């Protein structure tokens, strides 16, 4: 069992690196084949964004696809020395009319990639029932369709945040474990009951670093309460609504009034304290499971507490972006390769074997996934929780500035500095400025 190569929260820090170059780049390169010949020899360039064992797995799958289709040669490589560098390299490739057929991309880049006018629209192909498009979570499907018009690729990796609870802390406090029907009021009451100042034990933990960790843990509160991140046209911030203020005020009451939240300035210490039986609950993702198993922490996982039965979570899907090389044969085989890779049989040997959540809901009942779930308790709950990933984080290029603005506001309010209404209003103004610059 292995941890993923990168945590999702870091992906948004890399967004926007090459926005200008992506938007200003010219037309695609020389024209290739214009009439489809599925038997013609083609070479597909695939940038995986992976390294080490993950890269080795994908190279093996690429070789298998070549055996199935002898006319197809796959030029597979990581594409760059790190995943974060792929956007910059893609931008340079667009400017020089030399870019891959397929590239791993953080979901945050989706809008920028579409605006480059280099992406391949596969909307027509995925309408075929054979693609099983509905088996991907709503958030994953939305991420590869950033403007709601074109579908620019396939989901590559999915995750979500769920509620982790430390059974040792709960047992010591005599508090019943969370259930899938938990409301936010029940969650707050439990956090307060679990908090023991004398032993420096807290009921819950929240990041106040102001990073994307701070921001994305707030989005489920906002969505469950009926709020939105952006306006319908995605040009202005919408989170400073009554729903947003109520959601942040709820957290403020827990942090300031109840003093039941451990406020983490580092983004990482809260998980260590949870593993050490000092924090009763935290919201996190599948990357946390291996560490907890190693620490021998007695924990459980369930869906996030909800409002009126709404248990929405937040997901940060990554994608396999497809690019139009103006060669219909290459475009055809790029789609076929990704259709094959993301099918259940191959995904079980890729994402599931590597320790990620399965891309498709149909994989949850397979022996392969059940074996992984048995090794890492909570993995199955997280896979099922993808059904609650019905909203996608925005992929607009101004999201980085928006995230910084609201992340700073949340951090201040949870530390007792200002009101939720004032902080979100100020953050929305800053977010609008960031959105207008992009």
Q: Which two tokens stand for residue 245?
A: 């203020």
The DSSP element (H or E) to which 284 belongs, if any, is: strand 281-284
Burial category of 166 from C-beta neighbours within 10 Å (exposed 0-12, middle 13-18, buried 19 and up): buried
261 beta partners:
204
Q: What is the pLDDT of residue 165?
A: 98
The DSSP element (H or E) to which 336 belongs, if any, is: helix 328-341
Q: What is the pLDDT of residue 313?
A: 97
Judged by phi (left if over 0) then psi (alpha if -120 to 50, else beta), residue 323 lies in beta
Question: What CA–CA distance (Å, rounded) separates 412 from 195?
Answer: 22
Q: Which two tokens stand for residue 134?
A: 């509905």
Angle at alpha carbon of residue 410, lines to 407 and 413, rounded to 5°: 150
What's the distance, Cα to Cα, between the start and end of the chain in Å? 40
Q: Which two tokens stand for residue 382?
A: 């997280």
Question: Which of 155, 169, 139 is closest to 262 using CA atoms?
Answer: 169
Question: Which of 330, 254, 383 is closest to 38 using CA atoms?
Answer: 330
Task: Give 309's contacts (C-beta < 8 A, 6+ positions apart).
Answer: none
Q: What is the pLDDT of residue 30?
A: 60
Question: Which of 76, 153, 141 is closest to 114 using CA atoms?
Answer: 153
Q: What is the pLDDT of residue 317?
A: 92
Evaluated on CA atoms 287, 386, 313, 274, the torsion sign reads negative
Q: What is the pLDDT of residue 147?
A: 87
Q: Which two tokens stand for residue 316?
A: 């940060």
Q: Are 325 and 101 in contact (CB under 8 A)?
A: yes
Judged by phi (left if over 0) then psi (alpha if -120 to 50, else beta), residue 27 lies in beta
Task: Give 115's contacts (C-beta < 8 A, 6+ positions apart).
Answer: 22, 23
Q: Are 179 and 393 in contact (CB under 8 A)?
A: no
Q: DSSP 3-state assignment of 327?
A: coil
Q: Are 243 and 226 in contact (CB under 8 A)?
A: yes
Q: Are 229 and 406 in contact (CB under 8 A)?
A: no
Question: What CA–CA distance (Å, rounded) separates 25 from 22?
Answer: 6
Q: Residue 136: count other Cβ atoms within 10 Å of its Cβ.
A: 23
Q: Are 326 and 30 in contact (CB under 8 A)?
A: yes
Q: DSSP 3-state assignment of 301?
A: strand
Per-chain mean pLDDT for the chain:
92
Task: Give 47's contacts (C-beta < 8 A, 6+ positions apart).
Answer: 77, 78, 79, 80, 86, 89, 100, 102, 103, 104
pLDDT < 70 stretches in the chain: 1-30, 438
Cα distances from 134 to residues 123, 138, 316, 361, 385, in angstroms, run 13, 8, 18, 9, 16
Task: Give 429's contacts (C-beta < 8 A, 6+ positions apart).
Answer: none
Q: What is the pLDDT of residue 355?
A: 86
């Amino acid at each position: 069992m292995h941890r993923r190569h990168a945590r999702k929260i870091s992906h948004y820090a890399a967004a926007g690196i090459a926005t200008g170059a992506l938007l200003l780049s010219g037309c695609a390169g020389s024209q290739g084949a214009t009439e489809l010949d599925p038997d013609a020899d083609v070479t597909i360039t695939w940038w995986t964004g992976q390294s080490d064992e993950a890269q080795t797995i994908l190279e093996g799958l690429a070789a298998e696809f070549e055996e199935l289709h002898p006319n197809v040669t796959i030029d597979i490589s990581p594409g760059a020395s790190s995943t974060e560098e792929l956007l910059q390299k893609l931008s340079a490739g667009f400017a020089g009319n030399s870019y891959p057929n397929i590239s791993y991309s953080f979901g945050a880049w989706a809008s920028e990639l579409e605006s480059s006018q280099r992406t391949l629209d596969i909307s027509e192909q995925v309408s075929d029932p054979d693609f099983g498009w509905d088996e991907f979570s709503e958030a994953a499907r939305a991420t590869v369709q950033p403007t709601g018009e074109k579908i620019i690729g396939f989901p590559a990796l999915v995750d979500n945040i769920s509620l982790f609870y430390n059974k040792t802390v709960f047992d010591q406090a005599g508090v019943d474990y969370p259930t899938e029907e938990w409301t936010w009021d029940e969650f707050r009451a439990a956090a307060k009951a679990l908090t023991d100042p004398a032993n420096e034990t807290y009921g819950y933990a929240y990041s106040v670093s102001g990073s994307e960790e701070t921001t994305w843990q707030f989005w489920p509160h906002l969505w469950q309460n009926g709020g939105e991140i952006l306006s319908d046209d995605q040009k202005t911030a919408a989170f400073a609504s009554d729903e947003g203020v109520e959601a942040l005020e709820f957290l403020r009451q827990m942090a300031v009034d109840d003093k039941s939240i451990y406020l983490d300035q580092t983004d990482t210490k809260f998980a260590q304290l949870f593993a050490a039986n000092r924090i009763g609950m935290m919201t996190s993702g599948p990357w946390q499971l291996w560490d907890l198993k190693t620490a021998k922490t007695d924990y459980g996982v369930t869906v996030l507490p909800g409002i009126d039965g709404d248990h929405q979570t937040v997901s940060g899907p990554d994608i396999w972006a497809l690019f139009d090389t103006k060669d219909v044969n290459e475009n055809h085989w790029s789609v076929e390769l990704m259709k094959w890779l993301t099918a259940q049989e191959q995904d079980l040997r890729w994402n599931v074997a590597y320790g990620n959540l399965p891309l498709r809901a149909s994989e949850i009942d397979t022996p392969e996934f059940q074996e992984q779930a048995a090794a890492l308790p909570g993995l199955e709950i997280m896979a099922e929780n993808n059904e609650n990933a019905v909203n996608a984080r925005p992929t607009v290029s101004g999201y980085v500035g928006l995230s910084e603005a609201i992340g700073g506001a949340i951090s201040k309010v949870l530390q007792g500095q200002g009101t939720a209404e004032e902080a979100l209003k100020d953050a929305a103004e800053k977010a609008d400025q960031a959105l207008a610059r992009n």
